[in-house]
Amino acid sequence: MEFTHGGEAHLVRPSPPAQVDDDTWTRFLYMRDNLKGVYAERWRHARGCGQFFNALRDTTTDHFVAVYKRGEPRPR
Ligand SMILES: [Zn+2]
Contact 35, 17 (CB under 8 A): no
Q: For the chain, what are the domain ranges?
A: 4-68
The CATH fold assigned to 4-68 is: Folate-binding fold (3.30.2270)
Tell me: pLDDT of 76 over 90. Answer: no
- CA distance linking residue 41 with residue 15, whole number of Å: 22
Q: How far is the CA of 27 from the centre of ligand 1 (A)?
A: 31
What is residue 74's predicted lDDT score, i.e. its pLDDT?
A: 95
Instruction: Give the pTM.
Output: 0.84
Average pLDDT over residues 3-22: 95
45 Cα–ligand 1 center, Å: 5
Per-residue pLDDT of 38-62, as tens digits, reads: 999 999 999 999 999 999 999 999 9
